Amino acid sequence: NAGVTQTPKFQVLKTGQSMTLQCAQDMNHEYMSWYRQDPGMGLRLIHYSVGAGITDQGEVPNGYNVSRSTTEDFPLRLLSAAPSQTSVYFCASSYFLPQGGRQETQYFGPGTRLLVL
Amino acid sequence: TQLLEQSPQFLSIQEGENLTVYCNSSSVFSSLQWYRQEPGEGPVLLVTVVTGGEVKKLKRLTFQFGDARKDSSLHITAAQPGDTGLYLCAGVETAGGTSYGKLTFGQGTILTVHP
């Protein structure tokens, strides 16, 4: 299994440009999430999905759109990039086994480093 | 959204020393996870603590969940240069125990262990 993959690894955008950050997982996980990581702020949740066709907002959703048409893919769209969106973006996936108790494991991708000028 | 305060933010120690990282909140979490992150990579799960008062050990790392499930600590004994990295705590809020992909992260502790 490749796990969680993200593309591109690096991206430079100009203010106002749009782009899509790709995320895919091959573990058949139900849950997928997008986080951004900024210095001194840990990771903050942007959007998450509990299954194909179901998405919801996290802590910092403004300026970002998501959709989940398949279990495997969860793209993050920036419609009009702003310098405040300069960050490292991580996609994660996980599943929950009730019989296993609360031992859910999140698997993170390697990240996409985005610079908005 | 519940908040997790992690301290200290930076820790620079010599090889062989002991250290403790703290993760505190005013709210109760269903469970709490600790991650380690290397530069240029995503976080990797170290442990999940579920029960109030629970203690888990992973070689030289000891993780504890507070009795009230509002705080947690990570203690490293005899730190080694290979322990260098960013350590993150993350809380699961939902009552059922699953995060549904939603984790609340602390700010992180950057640990540097000098040879």
Nearest to B42 among A45, A103, A108 (CB): A108
How far, CA to CA in Å, does A91 sit from each of A31, B59, B103?
A: 11, 29, 12
Contact A50, A58 (CB under 8 A): no
* Nearest chain B residue (CA) to A106: B45
Is A90's CB within 8 Å of B43's CB?
Answer: yes
Nearest to A49 among B50, B90, B101 (CB): B101
Q: What does the pLDDT look like over A30-87, one tens digit per residue? A: 999 999 999 877 899 999 998 999 999 999 999 999 999 999 999 999 999 999 999 9
B33 is written with which tokens? 């996870």
User: What mean pLDDT, rounded, does chain A reach?
Assistant: 92
Instruction: Give 3-state DSSP helix, strand, coil % of chain A, rounded to 5.
Output: 5, 50, 45
Bridge partners of residue A100, in order along the sequence: none
The answer to whether the beta carbons of residues B64 and B73 sit under 8 Å apart is yes
B51-65 pLDDT tens trace:
899 999 999 999 999
Which distant-in-sequence residues (6+ apart) come within 8 Å of A15 by Cβ?
Answer: A81, A82, A83, A116, A117
Give the pLDDT score at B98.
65
Question: Are A45 and A66 in contact, with CB atoms under 8 Å apart?
Answer: no
Does residue A101 surpass a pLDDT of 80?
no
Residues near B80 by Cβ (< 8 Å), separated by ≥ 6?
Answer: B15, B60, B113
Cβ neighbours of residue A109 under 8 Å, at least 6 residues apart? A3, A4, A5, A6, A23, A90, A91, A92, B42
How far apart (Å, rounded) are the C-alpha atoms in residues B66 and B1?
Answer: 20
B39 touches chain A (CB under 8 A): no
A42 inside 8 A of chain B by CB: yes
* Structure letter (DSSP) for residue B37: E
B76 touches A at CB < 8 Å: no
CB neighbourhood size of A22 (10 A):
16
Q: Which residues of A touch B102 (CB under 8 A)?
A: 33, 45, 48, 58
pLDDT at A103: 58
* Inter-CA distances, B2 with A48, A65, B61, Å: 17, 23, 26
